[in-house]
Structure 1
Amino acid sequence: MTQFISIPVIESNIYMFGGHQHTVQGGWSFFEQKHQAFELMCVISGHQTTEFKNANSITYGPGDVVIISPGTVHLNRNASATDEMTYICFHFDFDSLRLKSRLIGYLANRVLTSDTLTAQKSEQVAKKIVSLSVSETLSAEAIKLEIQIAVLQFMAYLEESLDNDNGHIESHFTDQEAKTSQEIATIIQKMVEQIGDRTFTFHDVCNEIGISKGYGYRTFKKVYGVTPLHYIEDQKYQKAKMLLGYYNYSIEDVADKLGAADLSVFSKQFKKWAGITPSQYRKQITKKRTVKSSKETGYFE
């Protein structure tokens, strides 16, 4: 008998922006900022100082890397008043809460020195992204796909290395904080799944596990780098996209299943999420492939 092997469902959702390589003069600095994404900063030559608000500054040099966690207020500047510095940076975000929490807990906001494998892998992917960006042989779409592949391979390395190497590193948060945040995320996912039956607030989520709203908010943001409200909105957006992919649901049906007061409210909210209306999004969805068998015909989802 042929063994049945299940292939996992994969929906890649990588967002990358603000990437560039830059050579700056001595005394250069960039204004204080924060992002709802990770920022990878790799120094190619010279030395850079990153100042974290209400925390210590760090200075790092050629081959060293810093991954700045989401929501961290920081300022980057050339550590030298006279010498040039060259760096590569890019901002990136992804869906996996597990990898986010492990990045924040064990790697973020620290200097990864050039003699470590993680810094070397980081520099390799940064340089590869720059090289792909100036390719004269690939099409614009091929460049984007190759960059996505490079970033995914880098994330796969991070996932594996964090499994093997974090035993000797002190995390930025406690095991209890990680456990509580994971419970919050699970409850949010469950409540968003059931949102067509009843709406909910973050206060409801915290009541479910017997913690205060303030503690839940602070802990979730500390562990995952985003606020729980941001995560709730993201889960609603993911559900909306999934439901819009089912053509047996009208857009009114989708609005109802998201707990929206009416179609207008849902359309405005979806446009805030996606930048386009639900009907425009539905038109962009690739046609479903049809699967035929000896017994029935159906959609391959």
Structure 2
Amino acid sequence: MQNFISFPTIESGLYMFGGHRHTVNGNWSFFEQSHQVFELMVIVDGHQITEIRNRTPIDLGPGEAIIIAPGTYHINYNASKTNKMTYMCLHFDFEDAQIRSQIIGMITNRVFSADSALAKLSMEMLNEVVGFSEDRSQQNEFDTQVKIEIALLTYLQKINKLMGEFDGKQNMPYTDKEAKIGRDIAMTIENHINNDDQDPAFSFNDICKELAIGCGYGHRVFKKVYGITPLHFIDREKYRKAQRLLEYSGNSIEEIAYQIGAANISIFSKQFKKWSGSSPSLYRKQVGQQRHVISKNQTGYFE
């Protein structure tokens, strides 16, 4: 019988923003856009056309769903010039790089029919979040935000299980070798950022030298596997480390700036404000020990 059972370290890094249910008029359209996150869309009523750059336009009908991959340029518009259309939309991202790459490789940028497991899961989750969000006076309450976060995490858990049932390997946009190189790059970046024994002021070129691969090749492979550039990934991981240190450590802002590799406190403050919309000192005051599900730019509205 075991007398010691360890608990896993958990850092979900969950982001959810720009979510809404919206009824639009005929001839509605939204300009071409791309995000460094996933975008889930489910059609409730009517038909939507989604045009992905260099792809055949996709027609989404009632109950159908699409998850658009990070970095994908796309346009959405109502297929009808006269009839209204209702859709639900959510932008999200999370920490696990391996599951992230599998979602990109297996299920993004394709239509899931209304009777498919993924579309049903998506509709169920979004309807649940709509229910939690209907009372605007309760949207920013901790209890409401935790319920929404649980709904999204449960959705991701079910998608992960669903992917295990797919025979999607032949559709993956990268080879096993590229997947390994991408994971090696991600792990090496994370090690440099989170290991205090490593130089925090590293470059992507340093990572490639350490792995004995060309910088250009590493950049192309990483973007193919994870859907974002390695520089964006480095920025994201540094921001998350800065968040953790501001929330949970007693370190000064100057010390935190050094720990994430910023040349000085002024550069760190400008970069952190670009990341979060607020200065490090204001962020520390606002969050304390609480975690919030908020938009990255603090406006909370995306199409």
On whether the aligned pair clears a TM of 0.5, the verdict is: yes
Highest relative contact order (Cα 8 Å, sep 6+), 1 or 2?
A: 2
User: How far apart are 1:54 and its partner, in Å?
Assistant: 1.4
Q: Does 1:178 align with 2:179?
A: yes
Which residue identity is paired with 1:145?
Answer: V
- Residue 150 of structure 1 corresponds to 151
The 2-side partners of 1:137 and 1:198 are apart by 42
Flag the 1:100–1:168 CA change in 2: closer, same or farther, 3 A: closer
Counterpart contact for 2:106–2:169, Cα < 8 Å: no
Counterpart contact for 1:27–1:80, Cα < 8 Å: yes
The 2-side partners of 1:258 and 1:123 are apart by 40
Q: What are the ranges of 5 or more consecutive residues in structure 1 without an aligned counterpart?
A: 288-301
Which residue identity is paired with 2:280?
Answer: P
Determine which of 284, 289, 292 is the counterpart of 1:286: 289
The 2-side partners of 1:109 and 1:37 are apart by 13
- Residue 93 of structure 1 corresponds to 93
Once the two structures are superposed, the pairs formed by residues 110-259 of structure 1 within 5 Å of their partners are: 110-135=110-135, 140-141=140-141, 142-167=143-168, 170-192=171-193, 193=195, 197=199, 199-244=201-246, 245-247=248-250, 249-259=251-261
Secondary structure of 2:183's aligned partner: helix
The 2-side partners of 1:59 and 1:140 are apart by 35
User: How far apart are 1:196 and its partner, in Å?
Assistant: 6.0
Aligned residues, how many?
A: 286
Secondary structure of 2:289's aligned partner: coil
User: How far apart are 1:42 and its partner, in Å?
Assistant: 0.4
Once the two structures are superposed, the pairs formed by residues 37-76 of structure 1 within 5 Å of their partners are: 37-76=37-76
The 2-side partners of 1:38 and 1:259 are apart by 28
Secondary structure of 1:179's aligned partner: helix
TM-score scaled to structure 1, two decimals?
0.86
The 1-side partners of 2:207 and 2:198 are apart by 16
User: How far apart are 1:61 and its partner, in Å?
Assistant: 0.9
Identity of aligned residues (%): 47
What are the Cα deviations for residues 229-283 of structure 1, in whole angstroms up to 9, with x where unaligned?
0111122222223334222x33333223333322222233233233333333444
The 1-side partners of 2:71 and 2:151 are apart by 25
Which residue identity is paired with 2:219?
Answer: Y
Please, which moves more after superposition, 70-79 or 254-263?
254-263
Please, which moves more after superposition, 271-280 or 98-107?
271-280
The 2-side partners of 1:106 and 1:166 are apart by 9
Counterpart contact for 1:196–1:258, Cα < 8 Å: no
Q: What RMSD, in angstroms, separates the aligned Cα atoms of the two structures?
A: 2.4
Flag the 1:144–1:241 CA change in 2: closer, same or farther, 3 A: closer
The 1-side partners of 2:4 and 2:216 are apart by 48
- Structure showing greater radius of gyration is 1
The 2-side partners of 1:39 and 1:164 are apart by 23
Secondary structure of 2:171's aligned partner: coil
What are the Cα deviations for residues 209-235 of structure 1, in whole angstroms up to 9, with x where unaligned?
233222222221222121110111122
What are the Cα deviations for residues 69-108 of structure 1, in whole angstroms up to 9, with x where unaligned?
1110001112233433221111111111112101100000
TM-score scaled to structure 2, two decimals?
0.85
Q: What are the ranges of 5 or more consecutive residues in structure 2 without an aligned counterpart?
A: 291-303
Which residue identity is paired with 1:269?
Answer: Q
The 2-side partners of 1:191 and 1:21 are apart by 41
Flag the 1:262–1:63 CA change in 2: closer, same or farther, 3 A: same
Flag the 1:145–1:194 CA change in 2: closer, same or farther, 3 A: closer
